[in-house]
């Protein structure tokens, strides 16, 4: 049985929210996934998913360097 503390937790409470990603680029929030000290934000921009990552208590989002398969399976 997989330990719940080691899985990505999906949060969709703000789904549909328009957010500014950078400069004049806006996206629609799909979900935020949290695990340990990291979080990954999934946004839709022009019918394409974009992924950003940050430390759990930070709002300093950067382009994600990798996307865990577990997140992709739960979109």
Residues whose CB is less than 8 angstroms from the CB of residue 38 and which lie 6 or more positions away in sequence, other chains included: 53, 54, 55, 56
User: How many CA atoms within 13 Å lie on the side-chain side of 59?
Assistant: 4
Please classify residue 1 by burial: count the beta carbons closer than 10 Å to its beta carbon, then call 0-12 exposed, 13-18 middle and 19+ buried: exposed
The mean per-residue pLDDT over the stretch 46-73 comes to 92
Above 60 in pLDDT, residue 45?
yes
> How much is the pLDDT for 5?
55
Domain boundaries, the chain: 4-73
C-alpha angle 42/48/54, rounded to 5°?
A: 25
Look at 18-27, 40-49, 62-71 and tell me which has the smallest mean pLDDT.
18-27
């Amino acid at each position: 049985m997989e330990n719940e503390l080691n899985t990505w937790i999906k949060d969709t409470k703000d789904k549909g929210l328009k957010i500014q990603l950078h400069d004049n680029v806006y996206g629609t929030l799909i979900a935020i996934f949290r695990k340990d000290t990291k979080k990954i934000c999934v946004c839709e921009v022009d019918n394409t998913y974009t992924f950003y990552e940050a430390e759990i208590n930070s709002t300093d989002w950067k382009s994600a360097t990798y996307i865990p398969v577990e997140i992709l399976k739960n979109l």
